């Protein structure tokens, strides 16, 4: 069930994430990130493989080359974010706002977009393969 958190996943706060990122840590694989405002932050090259990201604002954030492979991303605002070269392979994006986001060279392979807003999105040179979209 989507609402249950696996016991092996560790919850991380905005403060923890930004502190570790400032120390050079980029690997946040299999974390739970929930109810945080990360608008306009720099998280270039961050790795959220297999993570569960819910109710997070990444509005205008720098997420260039971020890895969201196999992540479960629900009710997240990526509007105006730089997601160029990001990897969403096998990720599930549910009720995600991507309006105005930069998705140039982004990998959307085996990605599910459920009830999401992707208006005015730049998908130049993006790798789009086996993408599933529902409105």
CB neighbour class for 90 (10 Å; exposed up to 12, middle 13-18, buried from 19): middle
* pLDDT for 3: 56
Tokens 């016991």 belong to which residue? 7
C-alpha–C-alpha distance, residues 60 and 28, integer Å: 20
* Extents of the domains making up the chain: 1-135
CATH superfamily of 1-135: E3 ubiquitin-protein ligase SopA (2.160.20.80)
With a cut of 60, say whether residue 95 has pLDDT above it.
yes
Lowest-pLDDT choice from 45-49, 65-69, 100-104, 129-133: 129-133
Indicate the pTM of the whole model.
Answer: 0.90
Q: With CA atoms as reference, report the closest residue to 131 among 118, 120, 53.
A: 118
């Amino acid at each position: 069930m989507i609402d249950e958190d696996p016991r092996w996943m560790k919850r991380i706060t905005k403060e923890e994430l930004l502190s570790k990122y400032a120390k050079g840590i980029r690997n946040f694989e299999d974390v739970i990130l929930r109810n945080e405002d990360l608008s306009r932050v720099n998280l270039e090259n961050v790795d959220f493989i297999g993570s569960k990201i819910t109710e997070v604002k990444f509005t205008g954030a720098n997420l260039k080359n971020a890895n969201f492979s196999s992540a479960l991303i629900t009710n997240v605002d990526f509007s105006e974010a730089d997601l160029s070269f990001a990897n969403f392979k096998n990720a599930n994006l549910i009720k995600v706002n991507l309006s105005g986001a930069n998705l140039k060279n982004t990998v959307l392979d085996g990605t599910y977009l459920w009830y999401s807003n992707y208006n005015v999105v730049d998908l130049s040179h993006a790798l789009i393969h086996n993408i599933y979209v529902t409105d």
